[in-house]
Structure 1
Amino acid sequence: MELRHLRYFIAVAEAASFTAAARSLNISQPPLSQQIKDLEEEVGTRLFERSSRHVELTEAGANFLDQARMILGQVDHATNQARAIGSGQVGMLNIGTTGSVLLGQLSTLIARFRDRWPAVFVRIHEMDPQAQEMALLTHRTDLSFVRKPRHNAELVGRIAWHEKVGVALPEHHPMARLETVELGALRQESFVFLRLADSRFARYLHDCCVGAGFVPNITNEVVESYSLTSLVAAGLGVALVPECIRNLSRPGVIYRPLADPAPEADVYVIHRPNPGPVVASFLEATQSAFK
C-alpha cells in the first residue's frame, strides 16, 4: 500500500464518484478504478458499494476513511516539520559565551533571531573560553562567542563583530576628566585584571601594556570582565575592559576610551565544520547584522 492509494481513496470517498475524483486528480477513470480495486484487495474487504449512478462507502470504508485522513495528516505534518528543520526554522541552538559578551551585541542578536525564528529554542551556556572550546568539541554546544580564541584545527571561526578596549577608572581619578586615555599613561597605576591563567584575552591585554612600555602592576585577578568594575568602584585599581562594559552602569566608575591605536576586543564566533541548518541560520543572521 502506498500513499497514493490513500489519496485516491479519499478523493473517491469525498466526491462519491469515480468520474469526479478522476477529474480532480487529473487522471483517467480506468487507472483510478484499478488503484481502488488494488487497495481493496490489499485491505481484504470492500471499501465502496458501487452502482451505475452512485458510489457509497461501506462501513469498513467509512472507518478506513478516518484512518486514511489521519495518516495523510501525519505525513503532511512530518513533511512540514522536516522541511522546517532542514531550513533552520525549527530546532534547538546551544550557545557558549561569557557574561561580558552577553553585555554587548550577542543578547540583541539572539533577540532578533528569536523574533525571526520563534520555533528555534536558544539556550545560553555561560562559561570560560576553555570550557567553551571543550563544549563545542563534545557537541554540548553548537556555537561559541569568545575573544581571542585559541586556534583549533577541529573548529571554524571568524570575527562576529568588532569592539575596542577602554579603561574603567574610579570616578575621582584624575584621568576621568580626559576624553581619551593613552595606554602608556597608565604605567604607574595599579591594575585589576582578568585572570591571566584562564584568558587569552587577558594575556593579550598584558602584552599590549608591555608594548606600550610597561608591565602592568596587577593587584587582583577575576574571571569575568564585569567583575572588574566592582573592584574599580572600590578603588582597588583601574581595569582594561571591552567597550561593551560601558553598558553596565555602576556607581563610582567612569569609562574612557583608549587613544588609538587602542587594543581590540573583537568577538569571534566559533563552531564545528559543516554546521547544521539551525546553526547556519544563526551564522547568516550574525553576518547580516554586523556587515
Structure 2
Amino acid sequence: MELRHLRYFVAVADAASFTAAARGLNISQPPLSQQIRDLEAEVGTRLFERSSRNVELTEAGANFLEHARMILGQVEHAVQQARAIGSGQVGTLNIATTGSVLLGPLSNLIARFRGAWPGVFVRIHEMDPEAQEAALLSHRTDLSFVRRPRNNPDLVAHVAWHEKVGVALPEHHRMAGSETIELGDLRKENFVFLRLADSRFARYLHDCCVAAGFVPDITNEVVESYSLTSLVAAGLGVALVPECISTLSRPGVVYRPLAEPAPEADVYVISRPNPGPVIAAFLEAAQGSPDNGIDAEVG
C-alpha cells in the first residue's frame, strides 16, 4: 500500500464519483479504478459500493476513510515540519556560555532572534569554557560564546562583539575618583581574580599585568567575573573585569576604565564548520545586530 492509494481513495470518497475524482486528480478514470481495486484487494474487503449512478462508502470504507485522512494529515505535517527545520524556521538551538557573557549583548540578541524565529527554542547552558568546547565537539551544544577561545582546527570562531577590560575598586579606594587608571598603577594592590587554572581569560589578564611590569598579588580566585564584585565590596582587593560587569549595581564598588591600550575582553562565538540552517540563521541574525560586530573568521 502506498500513499497514492490513500490519496486516490479519499478523492473518490469526497467526490462520490470515480469520474469527478479522476478529473480532480488529473488522471484518467480506468487507472484510478484499478488503483482502488488494488487497494481493496490489499485491505481484503470492499470499500465502495458501486452502481451506475453513484459511489457510496461501505461501513468498512467509512471507517477506513477516517484513518486515511489521519495518515495523510500526519504525512503532510511531517513534510511541513521537515521543510521548516530545513529552512531554519523551527528547531532547537543550544547555546553554551558563562554567566558574565550573558550580561553583555547576548541576551538581547537571543530575544531578537526569538522574535524573528518564534519556532526555534533557544536553550542556554552555563558552563566553563573548556566544558563548552567539549559540548560543542560532541554535538551537545550548537554555539559557544567565550572570551579568549583556544585554537581548535575542528571549530570556527568569530568575534561576536568587542569589550575592554576595566577595574572594579572599593568605593573608598584612593583611585576611585580617577577617570581612567593605568594598569601599571595597580602593581601594589591586592587582587581578586578569575581562577587561573580554569580560565584562559584569567591567564591572559595575568600576562597583561606582567607586561605592565608586575605580577598581581592574588588573594582570592573565583569562577565567574560577577562574583569578583562581592570580594571587591568586602575590601579584599581590586579586580580586572570585562566592561559589561560595570552594568551591575553593587553597593561599595566603583568601576573605572583602564587607560589605553587596555586589555581586551572580546567575546567570540564558536561553532562547528558547515552549521545547519537553525545555527546559520542565528549567526546571520547576529551579524545584522546593531550592538555587536561579528567579524571575520579567527580560528
TM-score in terms of structure 2 length: 0.90
Give the CA deviation at 1:72: 0.2
Which is further off, 9-18 or 211-220?
211-220
Give the CA deviation at 1:121: 3.0
Aligned-partner SS, 1:91: strand
Aligned-partner SS, 1:153: coil
Q: Give the structure 1 partner of residue 274 of structure 2.
A: 274
Q: Give the structure 1 partner of residue 296 of structure 2.
A: none
Alignment of 1:6-17 (within 5 A): 6-17=6-17
Give the CA deviation at 1:29: 2.6
Deviation track 1:63-84 (CA, whole Å, cap 9, x = no partner) reads 1111110110111121122222
Give the CA deviation at 1:252: 0.9
Give the CA deviation at 1:24: 1.9
Alignment of 1:122-137 (within 5 A): 122-137=122-137
Aligned-partner SS, 1:130: helix
Q: Give the structure 2 partner of residue 215 of structure 1.
A: 215
Identical aligned pairs, as a percentage?
A: 83
Distance 1:221 1:40 in 2: 76
Q: Note if 1:249 corresponds to 2:249.
A: yes
Give the CA deviation at 1:196: 1.5
Give the CA deviation at 1:91: 2.9
Distance 1:243 1:42 in 2: 71
Q: Give the structure 2 partner of residue 104 of structure 1.
A: 104
Deviation track 1:175-213 (CA, whole Å, cap 9, x = no partner) reads 222222222222232221111221111111122222223
Q: Give the structure 2 partner of residue 95 of structure 1.
A: 95
Aligned-partner SS, 2:220: strand
Q: Give the structure 2 partner of residue 79 of structure 1.
A: 79
Q: One-letter code of the match for 1:15?
A: A
Aligned-partner SS, 2:275: coil
Q: Give the structure 1 partner of residue 297 of structure 2.
A: none
Q: One-letter code of the match for 2:118?
A: P
Distance 2:89 2:33 in 1: 41
Alignment of 1:13-28 (within 5 A): 13-28=13-28
Give the CA deviation at 1:275: 2.8
Q: One-letter code of the match for 2:208?
A: C
Q: Give the structure 2 partner of residue 29 of structure 1.
A: 29
Give the CA deviation at 1:168: 0.9
More helix by share: 1
Aligned-partner SS, 1:177: coil
Give the CA deviation at 1:268: 1.0
Distance 2:32 2:162 in 1: 64
Q: One-letter code of the match for 2:194?
A: L
Aligned-partner SS, 1:192: strand
Q: Give the structure 2 partner of residue 192 of structure 1.
A: 192
Q: One-letter code of the match for 1:121?
A: F
Alignment of 1:155-170 (within 5 A): 155-170=155-170
Q: Give the structure 2 partner of residue 67 of structure 1.
A: 67
Distance 1:83 1:108 in 2: 28
Q: Give the structure 1 partner of residue 172 of structure 2.
A: 172
Give the CA deviation at 1:51: 2.2
Q: Give the structure 2 partner of residue 265 of structure 1.
A: 265
Give the CA deviation at 1:135: 2.2
Q: One-letter code of the match for 2:258?
A: L
Distance 1:189 1:91 in 2: 50
Q: One-letter code of the match for 2:174?
A: P
Deviation track 1:245-288 (CA, whole Å, cap 9, x = no partner) reads 01211011111122222111111112233333333332223222
Q: One-letter code of the match for 1:124?
A: I
Distance 2:214 2:8 in 1: 82
Q: CA RMSD in A?
A: 1.9
Distance 2:274 2:217 in 1: 44
Give the CA deviation at 1:130: 1.6
Aligned length, in residue pairs: 291
Distance 2:14 2:87 in 1: 34
Distance 1:131 1:31 in 2: 61
Q: One-letter code of the match for 1:88?
A: G
Distance 1:190 1:166 in 2: 16
Distance 1:19 1:281 in 2: 48
Give the CA deviation at 1:7: 1.0
Give the CA deviation at 1:97: 1.4
Distance 2:28 2:179 in 1: 83
Aligned-partner SS, 1:221: strand
Distance 2:8 2:84 in 1: 27
Q: Give the structure 2 partner of residue 154 of structure 1.
A: 154
Distance 2:145 2:16 in 1: 61
Give the CA deviation at 1:230: 0.8
Q: One-letter code of the match for 2:14?
A: E
Q: One-letter code of the match for 1:76?
A: E
